Chains A and B, each alone.
Chain A
Amino acid sequence: MTKKDKALKWVLTIIMILVGFCFVAPFIFMLSSSFKVSGEVMRFPWHLIPESPTVKNFIGLFTNGVYNFQKWYVNTIVMTGLTILIKIFFVSFTAYGFAKINFKGKDVIFLVLLSAMMIPSDIMILPRYIIFKNLHILDSMWALILPSCVDVYFVFLLRQSFISIPDSISEAAKIDGCSHMRIFWRIVFPLAKPSIATMALFSFTWSWNDYTGPYLYISTMDKQMLSVGIKLFSSGLTQDYGAQMAAATIVLIPIMVAFLFCQRFFIEGVASSGVKG
């Protein structure tokens, strides 16, 4: 590497670090402000380290008696957990069917599913409302869980990764008298674990962050999810900046922790398969 190349590399690195900083600056502001008393949040010049750090903002969220953050938190955790579990089961099962079983009508059905990927979700809002109502799951978390389990996108991606598992392995098992069920659980599913982990992580962020679903389909306050909850909370307390930042922080923390520890699955899963949310 010549000297000029090295200099260029340094310049580019500095530019990209500045760009990267722009992408995390709001998070830094949020985290820092959540430990400040409200008056200090808007103070200029701004300080990264609070003058007198306080956890009052966080305690306030769970003890205010008006906004039931505990309940919302539990609801969101249960909803997200159930979604991921059911989705793994549903999607990988289906993907195996399309990847490894040679049944009649397979290509036609798969084509129909793929073209459904083009349908924008806005168009589903009203009819789903009526369907939820008739299935008596309106105003319950099942209205959020069940529709997100029929994610076509991941059927497509998992199918790709199942196909890349050599047929010779499953053929050998088949000759030994293994049923598809056994081949699926014993061979294909374990081999495709990285793809399934990617799917689980993305479902986690999508369900956890979903706002439209709970906003439209859940009306009882105690059944509400965090996204809608913090929106209500922040518009109810427009002047209490510290509390608002603390509310934003507690919603973001689980996602951020998952992201920091599982970046490999997130980013490389995207790069290799072209995930698009």
Chain B
Amino acid sequence: MKKEKAPKVKAKTSLAQKKENRAGLMFIAPYLIFFTVFTGIPFLMAIAMSFGNITYITKLDNLQFEGLKNFITVFTNKEIRDSLLRTFVYTLVYVPLIMVLGFVFAFILNKGVFCKNGIRSLIFMPYVSNMVAIAIVFKVLLGNGSPIIQGLQGLGFDPPLLLQDMVLALPTTAVIAVWKGLGLNMVVYLGALQDVPSELVEAAQIDGATKWQRIRHVIIPMISPTTFFLLISSITGSFQNFTIIQALTEGGPGQATTVMSINIVRTAFTKYQTSVASAMALVMFVIVMIVTLIQWRGQKKWVNY
């Protein structure tokens, strides 16, 4: 794109182009400087640090190249491997749930309900709210002696304390994360559904397609670019769950919800194994990249632009 344009401009008005170059640089320079300092350099540092032997975060003297030692630790240390596994479990609960519910709710709202905008706002509300404040409320609601628990006990049930249960705590945090983030996915889907041309759906209807066939063969293919975008960002988002888990359970009970993000911070700031923590973060990054690349490759099969 650039190659087609640039020579023409250059040949004609080289002085004007020089002026454009200067103006362009002036507009983006402040941003670029900050970007380099707070994103570019940290990224390169993160890679470099994961090959070193840094222990205390501020002590960078007698730094040594350690090769792949930290990465070997990441994959052989049982505690780290377990937390990686927990991240996958969390993702497996979070991603399907938020994708399916986001679509279903958007579909129903788009289909036509009364006070659509009001309902849309209700579902969107948790998205803008503060996770720590929400966590305080959920901890009380799901904790011992809360009105919900008492109510269920009154009905003869024996409800588990979801956030204090060794098995259920992790899926519970994922479900609360879905509750919080769903509004965004739904609103993005809603926008996509409104853009599906109604003639297409009507044409299918005239051709005798049933309701399910219309959804399956017309609507879902039409919104597949949105699904693709939401899928990638939901998977990436599910790996970045530090705030949600720290606020709800702090990784407990025991190690039940100690996922990678929690473990990275703990390894760096309580165990002072900075380089190991860097290696852990880098492994997560590579996993995200691989997942994204696989989807990018696979999108030809199911995404229609």
Contacts and interface: CB of A to CB of B under 8 A. Distances in A.
Most chain B C-beta atoms within 10 Å of own C-beta, residue among A119, A124, A127, A216? A127
Contacts of A104: 6, 17, 21, 24
Contacts, number: 294
Interface stretch (B69-77, B91-99, B140-148): B140-148
B162 interface: no
Nearest to A155: B31
B147 A271 contact: no
Interface residues of B, number: 107
A71 interface: no
B265 A125 contact: yes
B78 interface: no
Contacts of A133: 58
Which of A103, A131, A135, A208 counts the most B-chain CB atoms under 10 A from its CB? A103
Contact of A146 (B38, B117, B191, B285): B38
17 contacts: A9-B112, A17-B115, A23-B122, A27-B129, A101-B24, A104-B21, A106-B2, A118-B289, A122-B240, A122-B261, A126-B281, A130-B58, A133-B58, A230-B136, A263-B124, A271-B190, A276-B188
A255 B111 contact: no
Interface in A196-214: 205, 208-209, 211-212
Contacts of B190: 271
- By secondary structure, the A interface counts as helix
A26 interface: yes
A122 B128 contact: no
Interface stretch (B43-51, B196-204, B214-222): B43-51
B108 A120 contact: no
A125 to B, nearest CB: 7
B288 A211 contact: no
Interface residues of A, number: 100
A137 to B, nearest CB: 11
Contacts of B239: 120, 122
B256 interface: no
Contacts of A30: 133, 137
Interface string B236-273: 10011011001100000000000011001100110000
Given A30-B133, A147-B39, A276-B184, 4 more contacts: A29-B137, A42-B147, A150-B35, A270-B187
Contacts of B119: 13, 16-17, 19-20
A109 B2 CA distance: 13
A221 interface: no
A127 B49 CA distance: 8
A42 B242 contact: no
A84 to B, nearest CB: 15
Interface of A: 9-10, 12-13, 15-17, 19-24, 26-27, 29-30, 33, 41-46, 90-91, 93-94, 96-98, 101-104, 106-107, 109, 113, 116, 118-131, 133, 135, 146-147, 149-150, 152, 155, 179-180, 184, 205, 208-209, 211-212, 215-216, 226-228, 230-231, 234, 241, 244-245, 247-249, 251-252, 255-256, 258-259, 263, 266-267, 270-272, 274-277
B227 interface: no
B88 interface: no
A128 B39 CA distance: 8
Pairs A-B, 8 closest by C-beta atoms: A103-B24, A97-B27, A271-B191, A20-B122, A127-B42, A127-B45, A44-B150, A248-B133
Nearest to B153: A44
B95 to A, nearest CB: 14
B284 A107 contact: no
A276 B235 CA distance: 12
B111 A244 contact: no
Contacts of A135: 37
A180 B27 contact: yes
B233 interface: yes
A96 B28 CA distance: 9
B62 interface: no
Contact of B24 (A102, A155, A216, A277): A102
Nearest to A10: B114
Contacts of B132: 209, 211, 227-228, 230-231, 248, 251
A90 B20 CA distance: 19
Contacts of B284: 120, 122-123
B93 to A, nearest CB: 18
Interface in B101-123: 105, 108-109, 111-115, 117-123
A120 B43 CA distance: 10
Give the one of B24, B269, B282 with max A CB within 10 A. B24
B49 A126 contact: yes
A41 B140 contact: yes
B128 A205 contact: yes
